[in-house]
Amino acid sequence: MKKICMFAAALVLSLSGTLMAQTKKSFTLDDLMYSGSNFWNLQPENLHNAWWGDVLVQLNADDVCTLAVKGKAVARKPIFNLADANAVIEAAGLGKVHSLYYASFPYAEKSQVLLKNSKNTVLYDWKEKKVLWSQPRVSGAIAEDFNLAARSTAYVREHNLYVMDASGKEHQISTDGSRELVYGQSVHRDEFGIHKGTFWSPKGTRLAFYRMDQTMVTDFPLVDIDHRVAKLVPEKYPMAGMTSHKVSVGIYTPATKSVVYLQTGDPTDRYFTNVAWSPDEQTVYLIELPRTQDKAELVAYDAATGARKQVLYTETNSKYVHPMHPIMFLPWDETQFLYRSERDGYDHLYLMSVNGGEPRQLTKGAWVVVDVLGFNVKTRSVIISSTESLPIRNNLYSVNVSTGKRTPLDGGTGVHTATLSASGAFICDRWSSPDVIRKIDVVNTAKATSVNLLTSADPWAEYEVPEITGGTLKAADGTTDLYYRMVKPVGFDPTKKYPTVVYVYGGPGVRNVEETRNYMTRGWEIYMAQRGYLIFVLDNRGSSGRGFEFESCTYRRLGEEEMKDQLKGVEYLKSLPYVDADRMGVHGWSFGGFMTANLMCSYPDVFKVGVSGGPVIDWKYYEVMYGERYMDTPQENPEGYEATSLLNKAKNLKGRLQVIVGYNDPVCVLQHSLAFLQACEDAGTQPDYFVYPGEGHNMMGKDMIHLHERITRYFDDFLK
């Protein structure tokens, strides 16, 4: 017998009773997924906020007001409106600003707002009704990166890196940029937390930037059909075990118009990650890894000369280290910074000194730090969110940097995402839980008191909504708790048997079940529940937020432990009288597409129907950074690659499996799915297939709706 721990009250939004049900509306897919008008009508109420120093500001399309917290009350006070601002900005020949949703307030207590339109960035004083400063935006520029202190913008145009300084002068930093020689953009295929390629020093006197030479990397032949004759659009794609790119980090000093490169040594098969600046702008810090990813070194470089100064910290792990966060200096002590590490098995904060010495662990426990929001300078604390109270929650805490003492800043349930005020005295906390549709609170980080700004009414009150519950079950290792959510069919009748679809991701870095509104149920799941399906989502071992061992038990054999856990979910489902064990389906995308195809081929008698989107089929076709972290290279781990390759399992396919991909997917390239089809053809098995020309790894806009109609139809065809 299975012991099921119900960790939260079931969320029952639908009214029972056939009579009532008939009066309620049903959702369309557009209602649930598309950015159409009714989609927005059906979203929880919202407020756009920004911080103006420690004053919270409410951004509306046409005006802005302050939200002053007085005790438990909030006083709204308009400060300026768009029409007045535009009158001045347009008169200055700087064009028209279209809304105030993206306004920012750079200087506490000054009546100045930073606004943008497609042509200019404008600093406007709403009291003086004057444009104080403006900067033109360069046509065709990408990767724009603005530094407020220097009022300078770095950007890339036609492959080369530029800076426009506060006076509007353009500095060209590189001249030989190309598709193969990439400047100022994200490198290492966005792994190691890298999502951009320029890093201003705090005061904007220097710009660190990435340069990536990928001339030596194989081109993957992507084809763009949106031309009179289809065109090759090659994508530099280093596949596992093959030659990779070479990255370096340059430092540009606008004052001297000079570039130096950090003296890292030969960049072959090395990763330069997590660029950070010292507060005095004299030092640049990188976290460096060899291609094997079993070591991370925190290295300090002289920003003026590029000289390698010091290795401040080294961490090794026989599986892998996975640094994702640049160091953060304490605002009150320029010699001390926070380093995030999984060295004790969980992602925690360590206090380190630029002068070396043993790191001091600041947070500890069988839970992980999810985010570091910043610091409360006055209380000398760091504000974090973590999973301390439950793996599926994110709660806010103030952590005293001296004592390590944690003070909870929220009610201890749900998932909170927050922004910190300038001094760190306040946070604006936006959260939900199975009981809370959406709340926005203002929290005093010193006193841990909060005032509610907004509590959303139920936007789905007129709709028939399925019953959504969460729970845990034991992983295949017999000890680990796994979290799931279940979406019951609309009009659920426990005496009936329902076709059941497992939705899965299952890969590292992602958590699918959170203690949010509806446990994070996706629109499509609601849609499927309306059509009479039961949906089940389980975060298996290998997924995120549970520590290193939970994630890395899949090392060198991606998919195997993950599937065992999913089978535990199936075992549980089969124990339920209302689940039809003969009508089990599975669906997932990306890693979840890999899981789906894998489950269909590895457990052909369990799942009758699967829809596998953008799947990995064989890890040798995946890229170097992510792939080798979890699988090593094909040369080092041939048996792991063989054992996990779906090319070898294609022959086992029995049920109906549709593979769906974006034809221009640069992440899981087309070779995965095509090689799978070929393997099936050779083996005489019959998958189904569909492609979205022009789409990448995920479908966008209308194609997303088309895709989910398609997925639904496939289950309707073969599982219903």
- List residues binding a copy of itself (CB under 8 A): 218-221, 223, 225, 228-232, 234, 237, 239, 242, 620, 663, 669-671, 674-675, 677-678, 681-682, 684, 686, 688-694, 702-703, 705-706, 709-710, 713, 717
Asked if 383 and 417 touch (Cβ cutoff 8 Å), the reply is: no
Asked about 575 being catalytic, the answer comes back as no
Asked about 565 being catalytic, the answer comes back as no
Identity at 568, one-letter amino acid code? K
Alpha-carbon distances, residue 124 vs 4, 149, 192 (angstroms): 58, 16, 37
Which residue lies nearer to a copy of itself by CB, 30 or 477?
30
Buried b (16+ CB within 10 A) or exposed e, 534-553: bbbbbbbbbbbbbbbebbbb
Asked about 590 being catalytic, the answer comes back as yes
Residues 6+ apart with CB under 8 A from 354: 278, 283, 300, 312, 334, 335, 336, 337
Which residue lies nearer to a copy of itself by CB, 231 or 364?
231
The DSSP-derived string for 397-450 is EEEETTT--EEE-S-S-SEEEEEE-TTSSEEEEEEEETTEEEEEEEEETTTTEE
Residue among 269, 697, 703, 706 flagged as catalytic:
697
Q: How far apart are CA 79 and CA 93, in angstroms?
A: 24
Which residue lies nearer to a copy of itself by CB, 555 or 594?
594
Cβ 263 to a copy of itself shortest distance, Å = 33
Asked if 324 and 545 touch (Cβ cutoff 8 Å), the reply is: no
Which residue lies nearer to a copy of itself by CB, 63 or 688?
688
Cβ 522 to a copy of itself shortest distance, Å = 21
Residue among 665, 672, 673, 708 flagged as catalytic:
665
Show the tokens assigned to 398: 């103030």
Show the tokens assigned to 40: 């927005």
Cβ 650 to a copy of itself shortest distance, Å = 12
Q: How far apart are CA 443 and CA 603, in angstroms?
A: 49
659: exposed, middle or buried (Cβ count in 10 Å: 0-12, 13-18, 19+): buried
Cβ 681 to a copy of itself shortest distance, Å = 5
Which residue lies nearer to a copy of itself by CB, 447 or 702?
702
Cβ 35 to a copy of itself shortest distance, Å = 16
> How many residues are given for the chain?
720
Asked if 71 and 565 touch (Cβ cutoff 8 Å), the reply is: no
Residue 169: Cβ within 10 Å count = 10
Residue among 590, 602, 612, 645 flagged as catalytic:
590
Residue 355: Cβ within 10 Å count = 9
User: What is the chain's Cα-based Rg?
Assistant: 27
- Strands 219-224 and 231-236, sheet pairing: antiparallel
Cβ 583 to a copy of itself shortest distance, Å = 16
Q: How far apart are CA 646 and CA 598, in angstroms?
A: 6
Cβ 247 to a copy of itself shortest distance, Å = 21
Which residue lies nearer to a copy of itself by CB, 49 or 698?
698
Which residue lies nearer to a copy of itself by CB, 321 or 624?
624
Residues catalogued as catalytic: 590, 665, 697
